[in-house]
Amino acid sequence: MRKVLFFFALLCTLIVQAQRQNVIFETDMGNDVDDALAIDMLYKFDRQKQIKLMAVMLNKEGEFPPRYIDLLNTWYGRKRIPIGVSGRSDKSIVAGTNYTQAVCEETNEQGKPLYKRSIKDYSKLLPAPKLYRKLLAKAKDHSVTIVSVGFSTNLAMLLDSKADEYSPLSGRELVEKKVERLVTMAGNIGNPNHHEYNVVNDIQACQKVYRDWPTPIITSPFELGAQIKYPASSIENDFGWAPHHPIVDSYKAYLPQIEDRPTWDLTAVLYAINPQDFFTLSAPGLITVTDEGSTLFKPQTDGSHYYLSVTPEQARRILDYFVTTITKKP
């Protein structure tokens, strides 16, 4: 009987592992705090074995974003998750306080860092396009979901990449072979006069991704996340179980006058991992990016692009899900 139970448990484990989704998270961590809320959910999905978080790719420059991700990896007990550093060479604008630096520099009463980190030498981290090639080359075919909630620079560089020590395939061929879909937070489908932040920070890269990406792209646009605001009251009241919490500290550093915040990046993560019936998916079509940074959707039966929308009822259920998930202990 014990052998039967053992093999049944093993079978269940193998089934769960077979269904576990491979996810790579692409983020401009530090430019807005919704990235931090979004990655909290990914760590929890990974811990629950709903996903395997293969890597966190940064398209935010500077020394603090990788240190911050290392800090989060360590705090959430996921210190082996690889980090790819930004392929960008310029400096992006930060609308508020760079919370990655603020949290990394927090100290305790003894003057020591409040949050531990695990990496000794950050100079050894691979550029994100290189790390993409390394991880995709080892992945099973059509097994990877990329969730991109920042700029398109790294993804465009991946498409342009050449054969290397990891794979004889070009970047586009590697994506076509290994990636199942790309889920993005970008653009504003409802208002073409709005040139959304993730688009305008690298318009040419965004144009390339929407033009040349060889798998389906599902986009959560600006107007969706703007309808669903994470409540400041939750940040203030729902984390009493944690004397110190890096996401709470990030929120408060970014918004000294704490307020409800749109959940742009969280919606992309939720759709990628657990869509259920939270969202309404558009008909297929094509999204084009203008030289000014508008995102235009044209329905097309053989198109590979889709965008998300929500009803008021869906928005309420999504917000409840966000608060319930984020306020749980890791």
More confident residue, 290 or 88: 290
- The rounded mean pLDDT for the chain is 92
* Residues composing the chain: 330
Pull the structure tokens for residue 115: 């949050």
State mean pLDDT over 251-276. Answer: 95
Do residues 218 and 306 lie in contact, with contact meaning Cβ atoms separated by under 8 Å? Answer: yes
pLDDT of res. 94: 52
State mean pLDDT over 161-176. Answer: 98
Superfamily of domain 22-326: Ribonucleoside hydrolase-like (3.90.245.10)
pLDDT of res. 10: 33
- Residues contacting 39, CB < 8 A, separation 6+: 25, 27, 29, 56, 69, 72
The pTM score is 0.93
Do residues 274 and 280 lie in contact, with contact meaning Cβ atoms separated by under 8 Å? Answer: no
Alpha carbons 276 and 40: distance in angstroms, whole number? 20
Convert the pLDDT of each residue in 23-80 to its tens digit: 999 999 999 999 999 999 999 999 999 999 999 999 988 899 999 999 999 999 999 9
pLDDT of res. 13: 35
Does the pLDDT at position 291 exceed 70? yes
pLDDT of res. 91: 56
